[in-house]
């Protein structure tokens, strides 16, 4: 019975994480998820959040992008897109570029590589930060 209660609690916590991520277009890191859950009254330990995020990702319920320092998670139901990250303010810009998509396919097939997916993360300054830095 203790085990069942524990597993039930785990499921409720994972559902709360999934609901949170599905409710917005944000790219969440584990700390932000833990903080948002705490703000909404359901305190969940950071280790549980990490495990929950990993489990939800491996089951295909959420997507992740690997940044230099950490992983961020987002809804899995968006169309394919890549990311530009501002290293100054943290802004994350989503984009999709037809030529880049095609060229990745070309680069892969030239090497006999069967492409099953890709992640492209571009680092730099967002338009607002670039303007401020120019001043
Ligand atoms: Zn910026
Ligand atoms: Zn995204």
Instruction: Give tens-digit pLDDT for 114-129.
Output: 999 999 999 999 999 9
Distance from residue 128's CA to the centre of ligand 2 (Å): 19
d(C-alpha 118, C-alpha 81), whole Å: 10
Among residues 75, 108, 123, which one ends one of the domains?
75
Distance from residue 72's CA to the centre of ligand 2 (Å): 9
Q: Could you read off the pLDDT of 9-47 as tens digits, one per residue?
A: 668 889 999 999 999 999 999 999 999 999 988 778 899
Distance from residue 129's CA to the centre of ligand 1 (Å): 4
Q: How far is CA 66 from CA 2, 14, 46, 76, in A?
A: 36, 21, 19, 15
CATH of the domain at 17: 1.10.10.10
Q: Could you read off the pLDDT of 63-122 as tens digits, one per residue?
A: 999 887 789 999 999 999 999 999 999 999 999 999 999 999 999 999 999 999 999 999
Give the residue numbers of the binding site for Zn(2+).
86, 89, 126, 129
In a shared domain, residues 40 and 9: yes
In a shared domain, residues 66 and 116: no
In a shared domain, residues 90 and 130: yes
Question: Containing domain of residue 61, as a range?
Answer: 2-75
In a shared domain, residues 13 and 61: yes
In a shared domain, residues 71 and 17: yes
In a shared domain, residues 61 and 27: yes
- Please tell me the total count of domains within the chain: 2
d(C-alpha 28, C-alpha 119), whole Å: 17
């Amino acid at each position: 019975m203790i085990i069942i209660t524990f597993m039930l609690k785990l499921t409720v916590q994972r559902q709360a994480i999934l609901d949170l991520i599905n409710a917005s277009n944000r790219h969440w890191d584990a700390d932000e998820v833990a903080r948002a859950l705490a703000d909404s009254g359901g305190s969940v330990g950071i280790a549980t959040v990490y495990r929950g995020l990993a489990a939800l990702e491996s089951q295909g319920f959420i997507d992740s992008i690997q940044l230099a320092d950490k992983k961020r998670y987002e809804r899995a139901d968006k169309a394919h897109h890549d990311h530009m990250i501002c290293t100054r303010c943290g802004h994350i810009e989503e984009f999709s570029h037809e030529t880049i998509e095609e060229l990745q396919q070309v680069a892969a097939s030239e090497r006999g590589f069967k492409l099953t997916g890709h992640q492209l993360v571009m680092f730099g300054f967002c338009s607002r930060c670039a303007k401020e830095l120019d001043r």
